Amino acid sequence: MKRWIIFGLLCSLAGFVPSARADVMLLAHGYLSSAATWEASGITEQLEQNQWYRAGILSTGPSGVQMLPSARHRANPDKQPANKVYLAELPSTAPIGIQADHLQAMLRFINSQHPKEKIILVGHSVGGVVARLVLVRSQIPNAHALITIASPHLGTPLAETALNATSDIWPVEVIKDFFGGNSYQTLRYSRGLYIDIVRPWPGSLLFWLNGQPHPPLKYVSIVRSQPFVLWGDLLVPGTSQDMNHVPPLAGKATLYTSATGHELHPGDGPLLLTILKSL
């Protein structure tokens, strides 16, 4: 004990204050969304007010991972704050596996920039499934926790409805295309994703994923409990949002409920801060 007291006094005299180990958080958005939704919902602003500072937006391209740094980072590139938040820009209509490839590359980038810092993954909706797939199929150094918000871990019946709506043959497809316009085109372009988030059946992605060993991290499920819905929201049933219903994670995930719709909400900011304090 005396040695630590002497060390502290010497550090103070030298003007050096040992800092606590920092954490890094990566936010992954959901379907038909973007990194901007975390900003628009006010979540990143609330995080920053509580010492989780924006580092930048990560995207992928032919040259690899690219970062659009925040104003704070651009002003002081050599002085990084303790806790940092990165926003992932994912191809949200692509199949889960492709999105996972992009997210995995971003995590490698984060590890290269912060090799000794814990990483907390937060995924909204499909982004939570994408993050879980990355953790299961790859060893992510320093991965500490996964927090999912309204994620379809057991799929959603709406994916099956969307597949049925876009499975017509010509000329019915042409008629739907003409009258449905961009909305129908979006459904068609998203078929690969819908196939990945149907309710699990032998041969499906979720059937495989939910049967795999999961790394020993901290798992947290935020489940929406919307009025006039028995359990869950209008897009994803509550049981599907709860990772405790994934067999390898049964009894291992901490559960929080949020009385709002499927989309990101300003109330998610304080809830995330509460969860982060418990990790």
pLDDT tens-digit map of 215-253? 999 999 999 998 777 789 999 999 999 999 999 999 999
Contact between 127 and 90 under an 8 Å Cβ cutoff? The reply is yes
Label residue 188 by pLDDT band (50, 70, 90).
confident
Domains along the chain with CATH numbers: 21-156+197-278 (3.40.50.1820)
Is pLDDT of 152 > 70? Answer: yes
Instruction: Check the CA dihedral 240-37-78-76 and report its sign.
Output: negative
179: which 2 tokens?
């009258």
Least confident span in 49-58, 143-152, 161-170, 263-272: 161-170
Q: Can you give the pLDDT at residue 148? A: 98
Q: Can you give the pLDDT at residue 70? A: 85
Read off the pLDDT of residues 32-85 as tens digits, 9 standing for 90 and up. 999 999 999 999 999 999 999 999 999 999 999 999 998 776 667 666 668 999
Is pLDDT of 10 > 90? Answer: no
Q: Can you give the pLDDT at residue 78? A: 63
Q: What are phi and psi of 82, to 5 degrees?
A: -65, -70
User: pTM for the whole thing?
Assistant: 0.87
233, with CB counted inside 10 A (0-12, 13-18, 19+), is buried
